[in-house]
Amino acid sequence: SLLAGLVSQSGGLSASALASGLRTSRAIGRELGCDPKELKACLQRAPGLNLTSKTYAYSWGPHVDGVTLPQDPMALLKQGLINPVGVIMGAQTNDSFRELSKQFIGSDGRLQPLAVADYQKQVQGMVGHKALHKALELYPVDHRNLVQNVNSLGSLSSDRNLCDIRRRLSLVNKFHPGHAYMYRFNYYYQSNANCSAEPNYHPSFLGSVHEDEVTFVMGQPIFMFQGACCGRWGSKLQREPCEQIDACVSCWNPDFGEGYHAYFDEKEWAFSQLVGGFWATFAAKGSPNGDQGVEAWPRFEGGEPVTKNIVLDADLPGQHATEVTPYDNAAICSFWDELDDKAISLPTEVDV
């Protein structure tokens, strides 16, 4: 098999019907002036940038085509119809807050207060009336600091995602014991405040949000929406069709050090080596722990549910720790597991 392992960073496990993808292809073809009778050939000839620039204009993601994906991915996972390879899944502590916070940021760039009644209404919209009381026990109203109610919404949404990841990994581990690893990333790039191209430096009130681990995984700032050529790179990339902008170019600070070290202060340079090293070791060995006998990442060899994860945080001693998923508070995932009705209950044998 060409597949040796899989890393899902803040990802889901869903796919659309094939018909949806075909509709999107036809719509993009119309925008590019393609003859419907020659749609496939026209899209193949189109410059790549003409296609990738449409990514966020339409729904995107995998499709159940009956070949590459014979069924919905979650259905395949529940049946154990998955490749026997190592799997890493995880997300940021406040993963959902990058987008959710935008509706609460005022013209001054700060989070605005959220009234108690409005907070309760928002929570009910997320969990329903029956689960509201329990949700407010876990994510209580703050009557004095109304801005904290906005932060609590971010925690609520992000915790739900982390618990969903834990359930999916537990399914992986049931069928392939000892091959499922989970992380919670609890940090964001802070070395250089001028390096503001997403997903690098951002306001501290956001916490660790979607995409924040990628800069440390790659060992250099990435530029999610500007294009890789917006920064200070070699002449070989000057031909790419994006302009250099200050938010990218200013990421390079030779006062920090030489080479890639110029992007990080000492603490974050060490952290990038740690995080990138885990990912590289996983690619090489099939486990982020490697074969040195030191298990920084919890693993579950008996096929039991995944109940612990590594926390990656540059401010921790050793810049990582282990926790019971998440935050050493079992009540959080107990709530979300029950609410989402996805408790692990699988057949002991599967015909493949």
Give residue 347's pLDDT: 37
pTM of the model: 0.90
Q: Is the dihedral of CA 91, 97, 98, 100 positive or negative?
A: positive
3-state secondary structure of 310: strand
Extract the tokens encoding 35: 């003859």
Give residue 287's pLDDT: 95
Give residue 85's pLDDT: 95
How many CB atoms within 10 Å of residue 160?
Answer: 20
One digit per residue, the tens of pLDDT, for the chain of length 352 reads 678 899 999 888 889 999 999 999 999 999 999 999 999 999 999 998 889 888 888 888 899 999 989 999 999 999 999 999 999 999 999 999 999 999 999 999 999 999 999 999 999 999 999 999 999 999 999 999 999 999 999 999 999 999 999 999 999 999 999 999 999 999 999 999 999 999 999 999 999 999 999 999 999 999 988 877 787 655 545 555 677 889 999 999 999 999 999 999 999 999 999 999 999 999 999 999 988 777 899 999 999 999 999 999 999 999 999 999 899 999 999 999 999 974 444 333 333 2
Give residue 53's pLDDT: 84
Give residue 244's pLDDT: 82
Q: Are strands 320-324 and 308-312 parallel, antiparallel or unpaired?
A: antiparallel
Only one residue has tokens 């390879």, namely 85
In order of their start, the domains of the chain are 5-340 (3.40.50.1820)
